[in-house]
Each structure stands twice: as C-alpha cells, then as structure tokens.
Amino acid sequence: MLVLGIETTCDETAAAVVERQADGQARILSNVVRSQTDEHARFGGVVPEIAARAHVDLLDGIVDSAMKEAGVGYGQLSAVAAAAGPGLIGGVIVGLTTAKAIAMVHDTPLIAVNHLEAHALTPRLTCALAFPYCLFLASGGHTQIVAVVGVGEYVRLGTTVDDAMGEAFDKVAKMLSLPYPGGPEVERAAAGGDPTRFAFPRPMLGRPDANFSLSGLKTAVRNEASRLEPLEPQDISDLCASFQAAVLEATADRLTVGLRLFEERFGTPRALVAAGGVAANHAIRSALQDVAAKAQTTLIIPPPALCTDNGAMIAWAGAERMALGLTDTMEAPPRARWLLDANAKAPAGHANSRAGY
C-alpha cells in the first residue's frame, strides 16, 4: 500500500510517500518539509494569512518533490491522505483541496486525516508499537494526554484548560525579547540560569484529574520580568530556568496522574509516547523518562523530524485507516477544530480554542 500524505495545518508545508507492507511494517519513501519560520519570525508568531498564502505557493512543488524522491507515479498510489484539521483553517483548506484534486484526477481513494490522530499513530510508523499506549502530545497548539486504544479509538485523559505548552514557551520567549521560534530559545537560555531564583507556581499540582494550566505561570513570568526591568542577560536566563523548572514539575505530576487513570481503565500501557515540538526539549525528555520509569513502562519519542508536523505521519495515518477500509468522500470538510476523542468535552474554564482541539 502506497499513500501520499499532505500536511498544511500550521506553518509547515509537507508531503510524503509511505509504504505500508502486508505485515503492517512501514517504510518512508520520502518526507519533504518546508518550514515557514523565516516568513513569521518578524511577527514573533504564526500569522494565519501568511501561512495560507505560503502553502498555496509551495505545496504543488513539495508534492512533486515527494513523489520524485519516492520514485513512484500517481497511478501507483493506493490513496491520497491530507490533514483535514484541526488547525489554521486557511492552510487546512489548501492541503485538503490539493489532495482532493489529486484523488479525482487519478481516481484514487481520499482519506481525510485528523492531525492529532497522525501524531497518535506515529510510534506505529517508527517501531510498530502495539495498542494500547499512552500519548503525551505537547506542541504550540495542543497539550493532551490520550489513551491510544486502537485506530480510531482514543480517550482523552487530560488537556490544557488554557494555553498549550508550546504556546506558553513561545509567549515567554516573546515577552523576554528572545528570537522566534521561542521554545528552543527558552531552553537555551535556561541552560545558563538558576531554576530556583524565582518561585513560580506549579499549576494544577496534586489534582485528581490530569489537566494542565499554563496561563497563570506565563503571567507570573511576565509580572516578574516587569518588576526587574530593564532585564540583564542573567535575569533572562534565570527567568527561563525557573519557568522551565515549573513546567517540568507540573508535567511530571500531570503525567503521573494521567498514567494512573490510563491503568485504571486500560491496564498497564505498552509505552508512554511523546509527540509534538515540545518533545524536542531535552529537559522535558529527561522528566518524561523519569515518569515512565516510575510507572514501569517504556518511553518512546519518535525522531524529531517525525515529532513535529510532517507529511509522513499523515500518510501513515491514512494507511492505517485504509487498511481498515476507512476512506472519505469528496465532501470531507476542512475543520479548524476536530476532537480526537469524539466523547471528550473541554474542561470547565477552557478558554483557548486551539489548545484542547
């Protein structure tokens, strides 16, 4: 089974061809990603209109590159998969419309993939992980703990009630005048800082649910930064280190609760899986390793290129769904919001439309 995957939900324009073999094993034949970081850097964050226009300009060439690199023709494809949401609606429309056009011209099945499902299934692309397992998804738009029970079977155990984790890192970077993208810059500054200098709050610590909250922590950093102005380089490093330490402690606590909730419902998870751009943070990786060890399970983090947004994860999710006979019609809609767990509800106080969806 050969599947072309297209990803345009945020600021990466990506396409890939993945082969799903008869025994369920995967082979990535191509995975082309064009980041738009330079286009958005001067704004300190992603501008939806600029992102959508860039996808229009770039996508045809990237799809062509992915097909050539894979060495296959459109007539050989078993399906065309596109991320149909959740995400910035302009970009989602570009990717899904392109996939529909390819599917119509070449009479190929279409698969509209939930971007979050693609993240959830990535460890089965990289190491054929068996169900069930626990996913910690942390990125600029999402912070969730999800029980991955099977293809199309997901139970959200925890989410953020306000900011997503990656969003909090980026906003802290922006308020401290660090370059965009902010997450890596905060981690870099934190390496030279004192994590005990500022007593920032540890949101939601000790609660019986597995939800996150990061808005208050972000505000605490802003208040302390305002009090210290003008900021010296060491102040910035100490603020970043103290902020990151608070995130680490809160994350460990929330994941510990999430894994306990998982075990109560589904038994011991086969692994704790981390995905999303925040999984590239080395301090967070170390904290996740400790949590997994205490829970007596394995930590699996896909390679960085497959943790962040990419076409291979979309293609693989499409292949997994097609193997079960799950395809879509040309009426499949683009979605700005799309719950992974159809029965989940946003927790009380949920304010950020991107964070939990």
CA-wise closest residue to 308 among 61, 119, 79: 119
The DSSP code for 279 is G
- pLDDT of res. 343: 63
- The CATH number for 7's domain is 3.30.420.40
DSSP E strands in the chain: the ranges are 2-7, 12-20, 26-35, 79-85, 110-114, 133-138, 143-150, 153-159, 272-275, 299-300
In the chain, the N- to C-terminal Cα span, in Å, equals 30
Question: Is the Cα dihedral 274, 326, 58, 70 positive or negative?
Answer: positive
Total-model pTM: 0.92
Residues 6+ apart with CB under 8 A from 223: none
Q: For residues 12 and 17, give the distance between their C-alpha atoms in angstroms, rounded to a whole number.
A: 16
pLDDT for the residue numbered 138: 92
β-pairing verdict for 26-35 and 12-20: antiparallel
Same domain, 86 and 145: no
- Domain span including residue 13: 2-127+306-323
Q: Give the angle 166-29-324 at the CA atoms, nearest 5°.
A: 80
Q: How many CB atoms lie within 10 A of CB 297?
A: 19
- Average pLDDT per block of 10 residues along the chain, 357 residues long: 97 97 93 93 89 97 98 98 97 98 98 96 93 94 94 96 94 94 95 98 95 96 97 98 97 97 95 90 93 95 92 98 96 95 52 31
End residue of a domain, out of 300, 332, 349: 300
Q: Does residue 332 fall inside a structural domain?
A: no
- Residue 2 bridge partners (DSSP): 19
Query: Do 245 and 105 sit in the same domain of this protein?
Result: no
Q: Using CA atoms, how far apart are residues 152 and 175, in angstroms rounded to an integer? A: 39
| CA gap 357, 352 in Å, rounded | 9
Q: What pLDDT sits at residue 141?
A: 86
- Flag whether 350 is in a domain: no
Question: What is the count of structural domains for the chain?
Answer: 2
